[in-house]
Amino acid sequence: MSLIAENIQLIKQQLPETVKLIAVTKTKPIAVLQETYDAGFRTFGENKVQEMTEKYNSLPKDIEWHLIGHLQTNKVKYIAPFVSLIHSVDSFKLLKEIDKEAKKNSRTIPCLLQIFIATEETKFGLSEAEATEILTSPTLKELKNIKLMGVMGMASNTDSEAQIRSEFRNLKEIAKRLQHFNSEQVQIQEISMGMSSDYVIAAQEGSTMVRVGSAIFGSR
Ligand SMILES: *Cc1c(COP(=O)(O)O)cnc(C)c1O
């Protein structure tokens, strides 16, 4: 078995079966993605539109592509034909653009609202109040080609397990409160949280999707 396949298996053993593993392949060459594909894995996460589009074009078409990085509105059109889930919706303007491009492609694009849960200044994301504003906007009903499936968050980059745990717990609580706004377009159920350093904690705190890169492919 290849090292990549071994790493994936080891991580899966630490996760409940209900938690989906997304292999974060950013910066990795096509050959590495092909090797991962050949090992039977089909769910890849990328953080840059151009890189994801190039890889999509070169690889088999039964791969699920997850966009996990910051997305600019003018780049939505490049991924709208094929993206499986956009984890990083951080404005209503972006959501409207995703809807527009999804419609052009006659499809519905599942999305997550990225929520800011860390203490750092640098991480993108909405506050709970801003997320609530989007979910209660009368305009949301007009966006027939998106589905809001849940939330995504990144914990602080800290050694304090207690702090990471409390940030993940907070995201789970926020997701529960946002479920009150469930509707045709809104079905809050996914919680995308957990990376190489904290996926075990995230799973314990109710993650439904972990985004793991370096623990599978080595450091970048
Ligand atoms: C890079 C990245 C990851 C994976 O990080 P690792 O520490 O390599 O597991 C997860 N989520 C996002 C948003 C990322 O940009």
Decide: 213 in ligand 1 pocket, CB within 6 A: yes
Helix H segments across the chain?
3-13, 30-38, 49-58, 76-79, 92-104, 128-136, 161-178, 199-204, 214-217
Digit-coded pLDDT (tens) for 137-176: 999 999 999 999 999 999 999 999 999 999 999 999 999 9
Ligand 1 pocket mutation pick from 47, 49, 116, 216 by most atoms within 8 angstroms of CB: 47
| 4, 14, 24, 25, best to mutate for ligand 1 pocket (most atoms within 8 Å of CB) | 24
Q: What's the pTM value of the predicted model, to 2 decimals?
A: 0.98
d(CA 113, CA 74): 18
Q: Is the CB of 211 under 6 A from ligand 1?
A: yes
Give the CA distances from residue 102 to residues 15, 126, 181, in Å, rounded to whole numbers and listed in that order: 32, 22, 22
Query: By C-alpha distance, which of 212, 191, 154 is closest to 23?
Result: 212
Report the pLDDT value the prediction gives residue 62, as an integer from 0 to 100. 98
At 25, the pLDDT band (50, 70, 90 cuts) reads very high
Residue 122, pLDDT above cutoff 70: no
Distances (CA, A) of 218 to 4, 29, 69, 176, 215: 9, 13, 19, 34, 6
CA nearest ligand 1 atom 7, residue: 196
Output the pLDDT for position 157: 93
**Domain spans of the chain?**
3-213
pLDDT greater at residue 1 or residue 101 = 101
pLDDT interval class at 123 (50, 70, 90):
low
18, 147, 153 from 49: Cα distances, Å: 28, 20, 19
Q: Is the CB of 66 under 6 A from ligand 1?
A: no
- Measured CA to CA, the distance from residue 124 to residue 153 in angstroms comes to 9
Q: Report the DSSP pairing between strands 209-212 and 85-89.
A: unpaired
The whole-number average pLDDT for the span 22-49 is: 98
Ligand 1 centroid, distance to 41 Cα (angstroms): 18
Q: HSE of 143 in the Cβ direction (CA atoms, 13 Å)?
A: 27
Write the pLDDT tens digit of every residue in 63-81: 999 999 999 999 999 999 9
Judge whether residue 28 has pLDDT over 90.
yes
CATH number of 3-213: 3.20.20.10
* Mean pLDDT score of the chain: 97
